[in-house]
Structure 1
Amino acid sequence: MAKQVAKILDVPFSTLGFRETIADMVERIESGQKTHVVTANPEIVMLAREHQGFRSIVEQAYVVPDGIGIVYAAKWTNQPIYERVTGVELLEALMAEANQYGWNVYLLGASPEVIELAATKLQARYPQARLVGYRNGYFKEEEEEQIVQEIAETRPHLLFVALGAPKQDNWLVKYRERLNASLMMGVGGSFDVISGKVKRAPEVWQKLHLEWFYRLASEPSRWKRQLAIPRFVVTVLKEKWSSRS
């Protein structure tokens, strides 16, 4: 399946819908192709815009539209992105495939309590997936060598890393050649949601495309991060208008 790309503020997004994305990723894993997935919302796009090093990582990754802001931006700029591919849903869908194919899965990141709970819940939900290891994200730089070796030995088909953006993607790229992972993906706060520590927005909020507002109301400390959303909107519209003139 050829992956078509649409650019939003120079970030190359896959234009595949959710089910097509899963089918494409399964094909890549089964054919032995290595893939680095970045789930990008407006905050990630603005990070890539402001940091050259992160932008070069994103330009070489398989970027999916995690955030309704990306879908709206595509609409405003006449680009063929019609559906969100959110990180936590993508993780669950890939786990369902791991359950079917008996893939190896490794989880890295979050707090000790959260990662243990997330690992227990995922293993219970997807018993045929082989959870070959997990480790919390509170490690020192001198421990990284041992962690990389441990992951490499398990040869995971799926490697999910929750260290926050852009740290998780920088870490994956730094060790990519040594991790022996088929598909590696930064998953941000997904383990918090899966463990039950953080509640995802109710379905009605998701359908109204107000999940970002629900999260802000639930965690007011996120307000600084959420400022990326209006900055993203203004930047997209500015570029749209300047391209017309």
Structure 2
Amino acid sequence: MTKQVATILDVPFTTRGFRETVDHITERIQGGQKTHVVTANPEIVMVARENRAFRSIVEQAYVVPDGIGIVYAAKWTNQPIYERVTGVELLEALMAKADQHQWGVYLLGAKPDVIHLAKDKLSARYPNARIVGCRDGYFRPEEETQIVQEIAEAKPQLLFVALGAPRQDEWMAKYRDQLNASLMMGVGGSFDVISGKVKRAPEIWQKLHLEWFYRLASEPSRWKRQLAIPRFVLTVLKEKWSSRS
């Protein structure tokens, strides 16, 4: 039997493929198990490596491999991760489950126009899913108590939070015991994609595993963030070579 966790630079990833991940998370929701999903790419792994408090959050979460760099790192270190589980696709698949089971969904984060567009698109695509709340990410610290209370009273099965990483996961971990959500998941820029404000890379780029390069070409201002990718590769290889010696 394949082990269910693979460790990449001290971050524990689930080894389940996409469909298996969706089914397993659905089982957890139906079984009353609370789940904090972290969609981790090389950038998140490097943040966890350098930020002890964030690493502690990640170590307790359900971490999925969102990024081809994670799949390659697993291959180089002989670990059984064979498939990406991207945040935006996992969000859509869980919305399909919400549609099927009439789950409550709360959407938090992104810009005001983006979150409302995303809500409208998701409501149209998944009419039986109950969107029980929606709030943009431009709130002041003193408004957090009210937002947490609103989510807690709504008791959503799915809470999707787009506040950027690592802030979104730190926020969910801070209020985890109060939020009353079966599943909490940081979704980064997924609402931008769902709303149509940002285009995903064409399918050919996705198949060639060059989605990161397409995003960099589309948004050159991302170059500093993308430096995490070569740093991640070098760190994985360095650890591999040092473990051999």
Q: TM tier, shorter chain?
A: over 0.9
1:228 aligns with 2:228: yes
Amino acid at match of 2:149: Q
Matched with 2:47 is 47
1:127 matched to 2:115:
no
Structure 2, unmatched stretches of 5+, are none
Identity among equivalent positions (%) equals 82
Corresponding residue of 1:237: 237
Letter of the 2:124 counterpart: A
What amino acid is the match of 1:213? F
Q: Does 1:163 align with 2:152?
A: no
Moved over 6 A (4+): none
CA contact (8 A) 1:74 1:80 kept: yes
Residue 15 of structure 2 aligns with an amino acid whose one-letter code is T
Give the corresponding residue for 2:96: 96
| Rounded Cα–Cα distance in structure 2 between residues aligned with 1:163 and 1:133 | 16
CA contact (8 A) 1:3 1:16 kept: no
Q: CA deviation at 1:122?
A: 0.2
Q: Deviations over 1:120-141 (max 9, x none)?
A: 0000000000000100000000
- Structure 2 residue aligned with 1:219: 219
User: Which amino acid in 2 is paired with 1:31?
Assistant: G
1:179-190 → structure 2 map (5 Å cutoff): 179-190=179-190
Equivalences for 1:1-245 in 2 at 5 Å? 4-245=4-245
Q: Secondary structure at the match of 2:143?
A: helix
1:177 is paired with a residue of what secondary structure? coil
Q: Secondary structure at the match of 1:178?
A: coil
Measure, in 2, the Cα distance between the counterparts of 1:45 and 1:167.
14
> For residues 102 and 25 of structure 2, what CA distance do their matches in structure 1 show?
15
What amino acid is aligned across from residue 184 of structure 2 in structure 1?
M
Letter of the 1:88 partner, please give it.
Answer: V
Q: Which amino acid aligns with 2:243?
A: S
Q: Which amino acid aligns with 2:78?
A: N
In the alignment, is the contact (CA less than 8 A) between 1:157 and 1:181 conserved in 2?
yes
Alignment partner of 2:160: what SS? strand
- Measured in 1, the distance between the counterparts of 2:152 and 2:123 equals 21
**Residues 116-163 of structure 1, C-alpha deviations (whole Å, 9 max, x = no match):** 000000000000000001000000000000000000010000000000
CA RMSD of aligned residues (A): 0.8
> Residue 240 of structure 2 aligns to which amino acid in structure 1?
K
* Letter aligned with residue 161 of structure 1: V
Q: Give the counterpart letter for 2:45 in structure 1.
A: V
**Structure 1: how far apart are the matches of 2:66 and 2:166?**
15
Tell me the number of residue pairs that the alignment of Structure 1 and Structure 2 aligns: 244
Question: What is the deviation of 1:3?
Answer: 7.6
User: Distance in 1 between the 2:225 and 2:96 partners?
Assistant: 31
TM-score, structure 2 normalization: 0.99
TM-score by length of 1: 0.99
Letter in 2 for 1:243: S
CA distance in 1, matches of 2:181, 2:152: 7
- Measured against aligned partners, the alpha-carbon deviations of 1:66-125 in whole angstroms (never above 9, x if no partner) come to 000000000000000000000000000000000000000000000000000000000000
Q: Whole-Å Cα distance in 2 between the matches of residues 126 and 57 of structure 1?
A: 31
User: Match for 1:22: what amino acid?
Assistant: V
* Paired residue secondary structure (2:96): helix
